[in-house]
Amino acid sequence: MSRIISIFIEHPQPVAKLATLLEPILAVRFKHFTNENLGFFEARTNDSIIVLSTHDYDNDRDLNFEDYSYELQFRPIRDELFKQRELAALSRAKNAFADIRQILNPNMILVDDLQRKLDSSGSVAENRPAV
């Protein structure tokens, strides 16, 4: 199994609009795919595959996945240089997290293999209006 670094993003726009907003930030060109009635956007770099989609993960410990609409995955390319590509994908994800935070300022979390929170930007609960 390959390591996946994910950025979970809460954003009011549809996934297609978010993909167009992320393209210049990530310096990639997303291609739209559909698979079993699910749409997702994919881009490839020299070290990783980047996938933007909705998700259906349940909350797990301190990882409140249900607070975020979208998942942006960074999957290292599996080849003879896998270890190098894994480090490059992690670096790319961390840089993307910082750039997205600076430009779009959404609520988001950076997660390693859906198990460990690496960083977060804001709290969805803090930004909800009082009832």
User: Is 45 inside a domain boundary?
Assistant: yes
Domain harbouring 111, CATH code: 3.30.1400
User: Is 110 inside a domain boundary?
Assistant: yes
Q: Give the 3-state DSSP-derived string for the chain, with helices as H, strands as E and coil as C.
A: CCCCEEEEEECCCCHHHHHHHHHHHHCCCCEEEEECCEEEEEEECCCEEEEEEECCCCCECCECHHHCCEEEEEEECCCCCHHHHHHHHHHHHHHHHHHHHHHCCCEEEEEECCCEEEEEECCCCCCCCCC
**Total structural domains within the chain:** 1
Q: For 35-68, how does the pLDDT look when each residue is reduced to its tens digit (9 = 90+)?
A: 776 789 999 999 999 999 999 888 888 888 899 9
Domain residues for the domain of 87 are 5-121
User: Is 128 inside a domain boundary?
Assistant: no
| pTM score | 0.87
